[in-house]
Structure 1
Amino acid sequence: MKASRRDVLKAGVLAGGGLSLGLQISGGAKAAMPGQLSAFVRIGTDGSITITAHQPEIGQGVRTSFPMMIAEELDVDWAQVTVQPALGDRSTYGVQLAGGSSATPTQFERMRRLGAGARAMLVQAAANAWGVPAAEITTGSAMLHHKASGRSARYADMAEAAAAIPAPDPKTLPLKDWSQFKILGKRVPGVDNRAIVTGKPLFGIDTRLPGMVYAAFAKSPVFGGKLKSANRAAALAVPGVKGLINVAERRDLKTEIDIALPGIEVLPEGIAVLATSTWAALRGRDALACVWEGGDAAFQSTAAWEAAAAKAFKDGPQKPGYMNHGNAPAKMATAAKKVSAEYSYPFLAHSALEPINATAHVQGDKCELWLSTQTPEDARRMVALALGLKVADVTIHMMRSGGGFGRRLMNDFAVEAAVIAKAAGVPVKLTWDRAQDFAHDWLRPGGWHKLEAGLDEKGDIIAWHDHFVSFGADGKLNPTAVIDGSLFPSGVIKDFRADVTVLPIASTLGWLRAPINNAFAFVTQGFIDDCAQAAGRDPLEYRRAVLGAPRAIPIAEEFSGETGEDMKGTPYNTGRMRGVLDKAAEMAGWGRKLTPKAGERRGLGIAFHFSHLGYFANVVEASVANDGSVKVHHVWVAADIGKQIVNLSGAENQVQGSVIDALGAALGQKITFADGAVEQKNYGDFHLARMDMAPAVDVAFLSTEYMTTGLGEPAYPSLAPALAGAIHAATGKRLRTLPLDTSQLTA
């Protein structure tokens, strides 16, 4: 079954029913607490206002932004609000998902209506108490006012009566006009900021339970490998090691949602080491000195895959005409000039700073987990299946995640912890080290592209052909490695053809920040630069010509929110893209003369990309030293994600974080295989961006008359091609492989 990125998003948003805005505002039965207006809003008799943040927090800021949306329509001051995280419970809160930059576009209106609904209940309670029409009552700062009679009351005074009033139909509730916002659009610090910087326990790895033991799990670095031998006596002799648990392989853990959003393919065979500390558990695991043999993935080799891709380019594709819009071959035959180039990019690991971990406690037919997860409901289902429990008997405490980037969409670590905890009979915290994180990640797939474009007499692109080589099984591309109609240049270039060759892989593949887009933007935007150079035209002017006149192109399927209604706006609007392109160029002073320092060459590069309903353009200023080292000095980012920025501080942080994340990947990250296993073991050979690499990042948001969309991912893809463009402008050398090989840049 072929699953697109939108299929994945829908699987996360819609699978299992979920909450409709037409249902009761609380999303389920109201809690029997005074002042509990819904599952999301509680007004205390002391005047306290507690708003529940129900989405997983992985650094994208939803623990702050969602309560802001509710508070805005509830008509309270932000300083009056206390935020509390929710349990993982779809039946009460509806969809709980961190992925696809879907949170804001699918929940923006719903959260506002939840706030408006709670306000309406308070207003009606006051109207009933005072014997006046509800329409005559105004609100503000958690106060109710009736001007004609001069009466006022705190929300707290009416909260208990309001909680007994039936929740109104959310669709009937009036919402504030954008111009009336007092909280949304402002700079609001993250609700966890102080706790984070003062070291308070917020993250999954901070979990401590009475009687808890610590676990490390020895498993084959090659998927499907079998245990040949282990020195159990040596492991038990390590100080702090308390016991060993044999874990048998299981291959029966797939659920229906795995079609689009995999969670665990196989519970691997191995040995769990229980100890008094994580360090002791890891030392005990290493002392086992396990010897593994065989495995489904033993054939995997980066060298072999590279040779296979080169052979495919020579021999031709497995699947010619995989995508065929217009008649690219015929147009190519009429071209005044042809341009060709090959691009490639590697596997990438997610490399979240918080190590993969899970804490589980199994008591009888109940299981409780403390997780940093992006998909808590999937974790509940998978753990229930593994332990033979009912889903309702699995409780998920959603801990803050120290990075997710798509890795924590999968809950294999939760299943491992639960299985080990059941056998141990006590609470267990399982922690992976970085080598296991890399070896058992759900990797961003690598790929190769052989591109050809036909240019007319003016140098404009009239045909585009891509032979795409990537990974899958049974001749089908993995869902994380698809090429489809949502990706540029489909729709923008009328005559476009893509051929495909599929290489086999056994290791797990997954979604990494701005899935698929993070690789394709480097390829397509880099090739635009190739064509601009062949045409002898400026990269900015050439991109304007490629985009053409403002128009809507139906190439990207729009996804639905919990209302079941399509997001308003166009799938791909070249006018919106032109707007951010021009804005980024203006911010950077495109075309200005640069003044390199002695011993360096300096240049500007520009790129754009449409991702997760967001329109983004980046300009990068970079210098290249005579030894080939690259320094990024400044990045300018222009974004169009619709009418309203929810939290300006958070929005800027997301864009800046994406830029730095993408910069690290562009300059130093790749995962390679030999003898079936990942070769990288730690950050020493998988380089994240360091502080001294971080450039100044200026961000501008264009406010356009479209619904607000997501921001966690779409700023990422256009950084790498803009950097490659800046390097070319500085040196005249075009780098077409990620990570960028700076050894080619020596003067």
Structure 2
Amino acid sequence: MNNPAPQNPSRRAFIRNSALLGGGLVLGVYVTQTDTFKHWIAKPDEAADSVEFKPNAFIRIAPDGTVTLISKQPEIGQGIKTSLPMVIAEELEVDWRDVVIVQGDLDPVYGSQSAGGSRSTPTNYEEFHRLGATARNLLIQAAAQIWQVPADNLQARDSAVHDPASGRKLSFGELTTTAAGLPLPPPGEVKLKDPKDFKLLGTRIGGVDNPAIVTGKPLFGIDVQLPGLRYATYVKSPAFGGKVVSANLDEIKALPGIVDAFSIDGTENLKGLLPGVAIVADSSWAAFRARQQLRIVWDEGKVAEQSWADFSRQAQALSKQVGAEVLRKDGDTDAALKTAAKAVEAAYQYPFISHASIEPQNATVWFKDGGVEIWAPTQNPEAGQKIVTETLGIPKEKITLHITRSGGGFGRRLIPDYLIEAVAIAQRIDAPVKLTWTREDDLQHDQYRAGGFHFLRGGLNEQGKLIAWHNHFITFSHPVFKDGKNSLELGSGANLSGDEFPGRWVENCLLEQTPLACGIPMGPWRAPRSNVLAWVFHSFIDELAHAGGRDPLEFRMEILGDQGFLPGSGEQGIPYDVNRMKHVLQHVAEKAEWGKKTYPRGQGQGIAFHFSHRGYIAQVAEVTVSPDGKLKVDRVVVSTDIGAQIVNLSGAENQVQGSVIDGLGALMFQELDIDKGRIVQSNFGDYPMIRIADAPTRIDVHFLKTDFPVTGLGEPALPPLAPAVCNAIYAATGIRVRQLPLSRTDLSWS
């Protein structure tokens, strides 16, 4: 096989020369400039002069039969460290009990290593199948060579190659030396398994880290320990954009256990190294105690003039003005609304919220041997490496980045501000340094889910059909530092696509967008954009259905119509398969017995659906609201279409259940106030999270297997939850929820 030479010859040599302890077979992929995956084998004779083995290929089979599989994507609780190796193991025909999973460090040999947007599975699924199948093919060829029989007569299963005719078998470990010496088969000759023959995929496999997690073993970034480790805390301006004027650094340096204290000028990049004061100590306790005595004079800048109350006033005023950016314009919405049999208007709003992951941001950094070594719970190691190079001028070949398990991410750890802070501090210290944010740091210096305001109008004809839809979205932009200057850019998740449902399904549609300039950093929050747009759109659709005397399910099916597949349009175009969505909607209605139950006052059902991150999801919520306004979600029924194969049934169910609970927590409780350019809330005492008593009593999860590519599941099951619950609240009480969180609405009834 003629593989094109990689752009970096030393990188290829490094892969080829990875040592094989005691011999063995290593099979991996490397990525060319065009991101085309090519298989590569490191053979024993090519690795004999190596001193150390590093698992820079995805598969290693040792002579003792142990199969080591590399998990290249960061594990943030989505289960990818278990599920992606399962794909290789399925094709390889290895007994899962023989498998060891190793987290891969950042390395170009693995291709993209970010974890976000539910992309890890769809971007790796087919390639990992081919990788496992190629290894299986080589092992079968090796056995055929040893036995001098046709390879087509042999079978691989349970970590061995079997000869059905003679009853002989050779374990994978016994075949490694011979297999490693064989030429790669042409890609067209590598046959993948028929999905009907899968034995591992679709079963319930516990997370590979579960035993370590429940026994408290060190797995997370915050657990990293190194000889001579120092501990750091970093204090930034309470108002975003603030700079250090002065600080009592000499007093801090004189405190017990303090190694150093110094200010860092930082940059104007809200997603990078902000100005602040670092304290480095011989224990985290000493660092945090010294922080309590730190006195800093800040120049808080112009952002200190901003507040949520003022944003709300501006949004109300802007909603009545013309001149907004038009995202979609079909027909004549104003004329249709004037002639509509019924017209409905409503305003919806939602606040900024935090990611609030259990493990605060942290990173450990060690400058040694002319380079820098980093341990970080990151979702985007490439971005971390890049920001270190761009901010501090350290060449990327001098940066080693170890990816630790993350104690929650939800999009927060895609942004490497905490990582660059740790590197900037550690380069001043002649020892490894661990930076740990406090919970207050984490809440008050997050990259937040943006708030927003939607001013909606809808019109129905005499038959109750939707004929007009108008949404004026007041959103937020923040400064982005590029090319030496600040420019304004819409916050992550703070944009509206003209392709969002129900826009292109309505003959008279006007979608507008007006951004407010804001100094608060914004970043992706689980199912960006969809997590709030689904609530707004499906809540208002429910209002329109009830206004027209229509069944909410029937009304939605009518809007979807019979358009089949809709390709995306424009820069943010979203392709949409109407038939898939109708399928999950009908399925969830059937499983929830939609419309077949009679509920007393205070109980009701609500329905919603949404397409995001390639997944088609519909949900029905059943709720009870007591007369004094206490909400209990009794049951949530979820139907999903994420393609032809569920990789790990246990992990998939956990993802859907977690999405439902996470979505409910955000709906019920989460809210940040902004005053004087800073976040008012500081800890879980004033930023409550969902507790067990508020979780749904029952969550029914259904997966529809369809003939479509496999997709991810970490995000698409969250967006429909909020509108399904709010629509159920209306059915139970007649109270319409138009502001988040739910604590802003009095749900009591009599």
Relative to the length of structure 2, the TM-score reads 0.90
Counterpart code for 1:685: D
Counterpart amino acid of residue 141 in structure 2: Q
Give the conservation status (yes or no) of the 8 Å contact 1:47–1:155. yes
Q: Secondary structure at the match of 1:273?
A: strand
Report the CA distance between 1:502 and its aligned residue: 1.2
Match of 1:67 in 2: 85
State the SS of the aligned residue for 1:524.
helix
CA distance in 2, matches of 1:475, 1:274: 35
Partner of 1:483: 496
- Read off the aligned partner of 1:661 and give its amino acid letter: D
Q: 1:479 to 1:664 in 2, by over 3 A?
A: closer
Measured after TM superposition, the shift of residue 479 of structure 1 is 4.7
Gap change, CA 1:30 and 1:331, over 3 Å in 2: farther
Mark the CA change 1:718 to 1:556 in structure 2 (over 3 Å): closer, same or farther.
Answer: farther
Q: Given the alignment, which residue of 462, 469, 480 partners 2:467?
A: 462
Contact 2:237–2:300 (8 Å) recurs in 1: no
Within a 5 Å distance, the mapping from 1:280-295 to structure 2 comes to: 280-295=286-301
Distance 1:317 1:558 in 2: 21
| Structure 1 residue 583 corresponds to structure 2 residue 587 | yes
Tell me if 1:376 matches 2:376: no
Q: 1:526 aligns with which of 518, 535, 539?
A: 539
Deviations 1:216-249 (A, max 9, x none): 0011122221223323355345443332132222
Give the Å deviation of 1:680.
Answer: 1.2
Amino acid at match of 2:577: N
Does residue 715 in structure 1 map to residue 717 in structure 2? yes
More displaced 10-residue stretch of structure 1: 509-518 or 286-295: 286-295
Q: Which residue of 2 aligns with 1:302?
A: 308
Distance 1:116 1:666, change over 3 A: same
Residues 453-492 of structure 1 deviation map (CA, whole Å, 9 limit, x = unaligned): 1211111111211111001156763453111134212333
Q: Hey, what does 2:665 align to over in structure 1?
A: 664
Compute the RMSD of aligned alpha carbons.
2.6
Taking structure 1 as reference, are residues 296 and 368 closer, same or farther at Cα in structure 2, changes over 3 Å only? farther
> Residues of 2 paired with 1:86 and 1:241: CA distance?
35
Aligned to 1:276: 282
Q: 2-side partners of 1:15 and 1:571: how far apart?
A: 28
Answer yes or no: is the 8 Å Cα contact 2:607–2:723 preserved in 1: yes
Secondary structure, aligned partner of 1:424: coil
Whether the 8 Å contact between 2:59 and 2:67 is mirrored in structure 1 is yes
Partner Cα separation in structure 2 for residue 652 and residue 680 of structure 1: 33
Distance 1:372 1:219 in 2: 21
Higher alpha-carbon deviation: 198-207 or 503-512: 503-512
CA distance in 1: counterparts of 2:715 and 2:350, whole angstroms: 19
Contact 1:317 1:499 in 2 (8 A): no
Aligned residues: 707
| 1:314 Cα deviation after fit | 2.1
Contact 1:476 1:502 in 2 (8 A): no
Moved more, 587-596 or 628-637: 587-596
SS state of the match for residue 480, structure 1?
coil
The aligned residue for residue 355 of structure 1 is 360
Partner of 2:11: none
Q: Does residue 49 of structure 1 match 2:53? A: no
Gaps of 5+ in 1: 1-13, 254-263, 561-569
Q: Unaligned regions of 5+ residues in structure 2, if any?
A: 1-29, 479-486
Aligned to 1:82: 100
- In the TM superposition, residue 25 of structure 1 has moved relative to its aligned partner by 7.2
SS at match of 1:683: coil
Over residues 541-587 of structure 1, what are the superposed CA-to-partner deviations in whole Å (9 max), with x where a residue is unaligned? 22222222361122379999xxxxxxxxx931222112212222222
Q: Does residue 1:324 correspond to 2:329, yes or no?
A: yes
Amino acid of the structure 2 residue aligned with 1:360: V
Which of 551, 574, 577 matches 2:578? 574
Question: Where has structure 1 moved over 6 Å in runs of 4 or more?
Answer: 29-38, 556-560
Paired AA for residue 44 in structure 1: A
Percent identity, please: 46
Partner residue in 1 for 2:117: 100
Residue 436 of structure 1 is matched in structure 2 by 441
Measured in 2, the distance between the counterparts of 1:428 and 1:18 equals 37
Work out whether 1:640 is the aligned partner of 2:641. Answer: yes
Q: Give matches, 1:332-347, under 5 Å.
A: 332-347=337-352
Mean alpha-carbon deviation: is it higher for 573-582 or for 524-533? 573-582
Q: Pick which of 472-481 and 116-125 moved more.
A: 472-481
Counterpart contact for 2:491–2:523, Cα < 8 Å: no
Counterpart in the other structure of 2:229: 212
What amino acid is the match of 1:664?
A: G
Match of 1:654 in 2: 655
Once residues 697 and 16 of structure 1 are traced to their aligned partners in structure 2, the CA distance between those partners, rounded to angstroms, is 44
Distance 1:362 1:326, change over 3 A: farther
Q: Which structure ranks higher in relative contact order (CA pairs < 8 Å, sequence separation ≥ 6)? A: 1
Secondary structure at 1:315 match in 2? coil
CA drift of 1:328 comes to 3.1
Which of 694, 704, 707 is equivalent to 2:706? 704
Question: Which residue number corresponds to residue 727 of structure 1?
Answer: 729
Give the corresponding residue for 2:130.
113
Counterparts in 2 of 1:134 and 1:421: CA distance versus 1, 3 Å: same
Q: 2:37 aligns with which of 1, 15, 21?
A: 21
1:510-536 deviations in Å (ceiling 9; x for gaps):
111000000100110001111011101
Report the Cα offset of residue 730 of structure 1.
1.3
Q: Is the 8 A contact 2:653 2:701 kept in 1?
A: yes
Q: Is the 2:363–2:418 Cα contact (8 Å) retained in structure 1?
A: yes
Distance 1:730 1:54, change over 3 A: same
2:10 alignment counterpart: none
Q: Could you tell me how far 1:509 is from its partner in structure 2?
A: 1.1
* Pairwise CA distance, 1:185: 0.3
Corresponding position of 1:535 = 548
> Which residue of the partner structure matches residue 564 of structure 1?
none
TM-score normalised by length of structure 1 = 0.90
C-alpha separation between the residues in 2 aligned to 1:687 and 1:171? 55
